[in-house]
Amino acid sequence: MRVLIAPLNWGLGHAARCIPIIDNLIHNGIEVIIAADQGPLALLQEYFPSLPFLDFPSLNIEYSTGSNQLVKMMGYVPKLLEQAKKDHLQTQAWVKNYGITHIISDHRYGVWSPSIPSIFITHQLYFKAPDGWQWTEPLLRWQHFNLIKTYDEIWIPDTAQPPGLSGSLSHGSPLPVPPIRFIGNVSRFTHLKEEAPLIPLPDTIAILSGPEPHRSLLEKELTEKFEHHQYPLLIIQGKPGNTSETFEYTYVRKVPHLSSPQLLYVCKHTPYLISRPGYTTLLDLASIQRVATWIPTPGQTEQEYLGKVLAKNGQGLCFKQGQFNWERWHQHRSLGIPLSSPESYFSATQILENLKPKSYK
């Protein structure tokens, strides 16, 4: 068996949640080839330096500076569909040239083949539209289901019993054509040995991620807030492949990236965390029963939905970007019910061994 794994490059979450799947495969003697680019490529090369990698350029998406991304993202639709066609042609060539027997795509729609079993990983079957645009959700769902119907299975990193961690993002109806398999909490932190970073750690860490310009805007906002209040903060910038440190400020220290063992240590032992409510982050923090203060990426409706649900459930404070209230955070930062999720016993190897491609593809 030779498995091609290709994560989307919108942030690091898609690549990070592929790590335990890759671990499972190579532990069982399965050959793995990884196709990625930019940050995901750097992250997975760091974690699996001995595996073969294919450079897989993808469409660079940049969000608008506003809070409603729907119009701008709609403008990207033709380019996204064209990119999916290019990805599919490239995938077909790799299947032939490298003897690929199975495919696992984490949200790269063109990565599938009609001749071999192809898996699509998502935590979001049902897209959320911005306020006032909910009438578009049936159309968004139809488009999404149309794109994933070529796959043999859909893997959802959550529990089948609602609401799970994803809530109505993946629990709902109608269901797409490919069979759905809930694979539980697949976190890179599971069974990982922690490692203390060789830098002093304050009691508050901010873990940044996601697309520009909002990653940089949040970094600027937190830097200004914590500098103004003369309160120590370590910002992990979410830039793998860059090992330089910056010491630009008196109270705020920044590092581009921490390895997964170091990030695990930080998340377990730092009293206060600030983070995007990205779904992979929720998986990671649930695996170690931690909570954070959440700042969703503006216009990223899945994060805005998850942030509201978490705050409603008492699982951490939630602030809009640009509206981080330092006094409220400082007063209530200790509050929050830790996230939790049952450990997953799913075996990617066992599933792939028994999976056959559908005849209709």
For the chain, give every domain's residue range.
Answer: 2-186+344-353, 204-332
Radius of gyration of the chain (CA): 20
118 phi/psi in degrees, rounded to 5: -130, 130
Using an 8 Å Cβ cutoff, are 90 and 84 in contact?
no
Alpha-carbon distance of 23 to 264, in angstroms, equals 17
Using an 8 Å Cβ cutoff, are 192 and 264 in contact?
yes
For residue 96, CA distances in Å to 100, 115, 360 come to 7, 10, 20
Which pLDDT value is given to residue 278? 94
Confidence grade of residue 4 (pLDDT, cut at 50, 70, 90): very high
For residue range 284-329, list pLDDT tens digits in order: 999 999 999 999 999 889 999 999 999 999 999 999 999 999 999 9
Better-predicted residue by pLDDT, 117 or 81: 117
Q: Is 56 left (phi over 0), alpha (psi -120 to 50) or beta?
A: beta
Residue 334, burial from CB neighbour count under 10 angstroms (0-12, 13-18, 19+): exposed
Quick one: DSSP state of residue 136? G
CATH 3.50.30.10 fits 2-186+344-353, yes or no: no
* Terminal CA-CA length for the chain: 21
DSSP for 296-353 reads: PPTT-HHHHHHHHHHHHTTSS-B--TT---HHHHHHHTT--PPP--PBP---HHHHHH
Beta bridge partners of 293: 274
Average pLDDT for 26-35 = 96
For residue range 124-183, list pLDDT tens digits in order: 999 998 888 888 889 889 989 999 999 999 999 999 999 999 999 999 999 888 999 999
Average pLDDT for 89-108 = 96
How are the residues of the chain apportioned to helix, strand and coil, as percentages rounded to the nearest 5? 35, 15, 50
Quick one: DSSP state of residue 20? H
Between the CA atoms of 9, 14, 19 and 22, what dihedral angle is there, to the nearest 10 degrees? -80
Q: Is the pLDDT of residue 87 over 80?
A: yes
75-93 burial, b if ≥16 CB within 10 A, otherwise e? eeeeeeeebbeebbebbbe
Alpha-carbon distance of 230 to 71, in angstroms, equals 39
- Cα angle, residue 187 at apex, residues 146 and 314 outer, rounded to 5°: 90
Fold matches, 2-186+344-353 and 204-332: yes
Which pLDDT value is given to residue 61? 61
Strands 204-207 vs 2-7: parallel, antiparallel or unpaired: unpaired
* pTM for this entry: 0.91
Alpha-carbon distance of 326 to 56, in angstroms, equals 41
Which pLDDT value is given to residue 275? 97
SS3 assignment, position 166: coil
Alpha-carbon distance of 342 to 347, in angstroms, equals 15
SS3 assignment, position 206: strand
Q: Choose from 124-138, 194-208, 246-260 the range with maximum mean pLDDT.
A: 194-208
Closest to 310 (Cα-Cα) out of 285, 283, 291 = 291
Alpha-carbon distance of 354 to 338, in angstroms, equals 37
CATH 1.10.580.10 fits 204-332, yes or no: no
Over pLDDT 90: what percentage of the chain?
71
SS3 assignment, position 177: coil
Alpha-carbon distance of 51 to 30, in angstroms, equals 11
Give the strands of the sheet with 118-121, arranged side by side: 53-55, 31-36, 2-7, 102-106, 118-121, 153-156, 180-182
Average pLDDT for 77-86 = 85
**Range scoring the smallest mean pLDDT among 59-68, 99-108, 259-268:** 59-68
